[in-house]
């Protein structure tokens, strides 16, 4: 019985083996070429106007950082009149993730066939990837909070000071505060425009309603027995007066006129010097207060007229301030009328 012969000839088997070997070698070469191509960005790739085609990942990151990230690390000054700090947009929170944008560009390389075609024939069109900086976590809010503390200034109301022996007026002064919202907007806009200096925004804080009691101020200097009338910080009149004796001194301090009295009655205060006097002396020629009096919020103290003209210029009263009748009438007309009269009354030792 004849044996069966193999259907494949030796030559055919050798040829097939060689063909498979060549095909396998081609696959290895193709895979190797593709791996090399996929490790580099496609030719013509541009990230935020920076050409990076043909570069590997690390080289592309370095190049883009030099053009896009580096400007974000340059100094920028934030300032007001009382605050200044040098920082960078990057530290404030204006940043961009360059490695992420390079990875996005890598994903445009396509599949193996596309990559090999691009390698042989060149890309059909360039690849553009944006890499715009954006605001995120950073020091902006903390820097503005520090600036707000440095800028903060409380308003100051108008006031008077008599420590020098005369009246010194301190005018009202507005305070100020940092407008956080407007300042943040200014910084963000300035940084995005590439400004190297940004001025923070402050707003005034009103001192409130003006104190009308400081428009007219009466100063009595007990040492020289003179009364000075100030109008908005300027002495407009001076009169001689009588003030209290050593035993009954005129009180020193800052007081207010609480009422203006025409034809006042004199009430016995019950003091030693008033023993034997009537409980009340009504208006008339025997009234020691004259025809007009200004009542202070210092207990029992008046600025009043007197018929004892010889006492003027001396420490001769029981604490009140005496004036000549005609001078009292002039002063009475010059200070505001009504209860709680806005005329401050400081008296001091001089």
Tens digit of pLDDT at every position of the chain (350 positions): 444 444 445 554 444 444 544 444 444 444 444 444 457 998 899 999 999 999 999 999 999 999 999 999 999 999 999 999 999 999 999 999 999 999 999 987 655 555 555 555 555 578 999 999 999 999 999 999 999 999 999 998 888 888 888 888 888 889 999 999 999 999 999 999 999 999 999 999 988 766 666 778 899 998 899 999 998 888 999 999 999 999 889 988 888 888 888 888 887 676 777 676 766 777 878 788 888 999 998 888 999 999 899 999 999 998 999 999 999 999 999 987 533 333 445 555 54
Q: Do residues 77 and 191 make contact, with C-beta atoms less than 8 angstroms apart? A: no
Measure the CA–CA gap between 294 and 327, rounded to whole angstroms: 13
Q: What is the dihedral of CA 264, 329, 225, 214, to 10 degrees?
A: 90
Q: Which helix (H) or strand (E) holds 316?
A: strand 315-317
Measure the CA–CA gap between 155 and 311, rounded to whole angstroms: 46
Q: How many CB atoms lie within 10 A of CB 119?
A: 16
From the options 2.40.440.10, 3.40.50.300, 3.20.20.70, 2.60.40.10, give the CATH code of 212-348: 2.40.440.10
Q: Which residues are catalytic?
A: 304, 320
Indicate the pairing of strand 216-221 with strand 343-348. Answer: parallel
Domain residue ranges in the chain: 12-75+98-135, 212-348
Does the reported pTM lie above 0.95?
A: no
Helix 140-151 to helix 180-193 angle, to the nearest 10 degrees?
Answer: 130
């Amino acid at each position: 019985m004849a044996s069966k012969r193999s259907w494949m000839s030796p030559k055919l088997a050798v040829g097939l083996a060689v063909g498979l070997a060549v095909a396998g070698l081609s696959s290895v070469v193709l895979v190797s070429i593709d791996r090399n191509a996929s490790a580099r960005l496609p030719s013509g790739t541009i990230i935020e106007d920076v050409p990076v085609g043909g570069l590997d990942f690390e080289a592309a990151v370095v190049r883009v950082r030099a053009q896009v990230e580096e400007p974000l690390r340059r100094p920028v000054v934030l300032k007001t009149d009382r605050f200044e700090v040098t920082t960078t947009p990057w530290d404030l929170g204006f940043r961009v993730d360059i490695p992420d944008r390079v990875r996005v560009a890598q994903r445009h390389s396509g599949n193996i066939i596309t990559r090999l075609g691009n390698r042989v024939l060149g890309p059909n069109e360039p690849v553009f990837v944006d890499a715009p900086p954006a605001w995120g976590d950073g020091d902006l809010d903390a820097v503005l909070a520090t600036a707000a503390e440095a800028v903060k200034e409380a308003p100051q109301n108008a006031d008077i000071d008599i420590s020098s022996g005369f009246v010194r007026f301190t005018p009202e002064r507005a305070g100020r505060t940092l407008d956080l919202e407007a300042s943040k907007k200014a910084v963000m806009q300035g940084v995005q425009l590439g400004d190297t200096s940004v001025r923070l925004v402050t707003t005034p804080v009103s001192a409130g309603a003006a104190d009308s009691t400081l428009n007219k101020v009466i100063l009595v200097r007990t040492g020289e027995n003179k009364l000075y009338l100030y109008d908005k910080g300027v002495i407009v009149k001076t009169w001689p007066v009588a003030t209290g004796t050593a035993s009954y001194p005129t009180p020193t301090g800052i007081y207010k006129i609480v009422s203006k009295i025409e034809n006042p009655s004199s009430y016995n205060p019950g003091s030693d010097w008033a023993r034997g006097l009537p409980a009340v002396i009504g208006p008339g020629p025997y009234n020691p207060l004259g025809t007009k009096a200004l009542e202070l919020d210092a207990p029992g103290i008046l600025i009043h007229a007197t018929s004892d003209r010889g006492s003027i210029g001396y420490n001769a009263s029981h604490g009140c301030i005496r004036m000549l009748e005609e001078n009292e009438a002039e002063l009475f007309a010059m200070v505001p009328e009504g209860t709680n009269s806005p005329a401050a009354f400081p008296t001091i030792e001089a």
